[in-house]
Amino acid sequence: MVFGIAYSTIDPAGIGVAEALLKLVYGRKCGVCRGAVECICTDHGVMAGFHEDVIYFDFLEERLPADSYIVLSRHSSSHGIKSYTVHHTGNIGSEALYGGKPFSLGVAYPEASLRLLKALRKVAEELGRHEFYEVCYEATHHGPTEINKPLVFIEIGSTEDDWSNGVNHEVVALAVSELIVKGVVSNCMPTLGIGGGHYPRKHTEKALKEDYCYGHIIAKHSLSNLSWEILEKASKRTSLQPTRIVVEKKGTKIEHRELLEAYSHHYNLPIDYI
Q: Output the pLDDT for position 78.
A: 79
Query: What total of structural domains would you count in the chain?
Result: 2
Among residues 122, 149, 182, the one where a domain terminates is 182
Q: Output the pLDDT for position 12.
A: 98
Per-residue pLDDT reduced to its tens digit, 195-212: 999 999 999 999 999 999
Transcribe 29-69 into DSSP letters: E-S-SSS-SEEEEESSEEEEEESS-GGG-TTHHHHS--SEE
Distance CA 153, CA 143 (A): 10
Tell me if the bond preceding 144 is cis, omega within 30° of 0: yes
Q: Can you give the residue range of the structural domain that contains 71?
A: 3-182
Same domain, 104 and 138: yes
Per-residue pLDDT reduced to its tens digit, 173-195: 999 999 999 999 999 999 999 99
Same domain, 204 and 225: yes
pTM: 0.98
120-146: average pLDDT: 97
Per-residue pLDDT reduced to its tens digit, 80-130: 899 999 999 999 999 999 999 999 999 999 999 999 999 999 999 999 999
Among residues 147, 182, 217, the one where a domain terminates is 182
Distance CA 28, CA 210 (A): 39
Q: Output the pLDDT for position 77.
A: 82
6-17: average pLDDT: 98
Same domain, 110 and 147: yes
Q: Output the pLDDT for position 169.
A: 98
Of the pLDDT bands very low, low, confident and very high (cuts 50, 70, 90), residue 1 is confident
CB 123 within 8 A of CB 135: no
Same domain, 164 and 200: no
Same domain, 178 and 229: no
Kindly report the average pLDDT of the chain as a whole number. Answer: 97
Q: Output the pLDDT for position 230.
A: 98
The answer, yes or no, to whether residue 66 has pLDDT greater than 90, is: yes
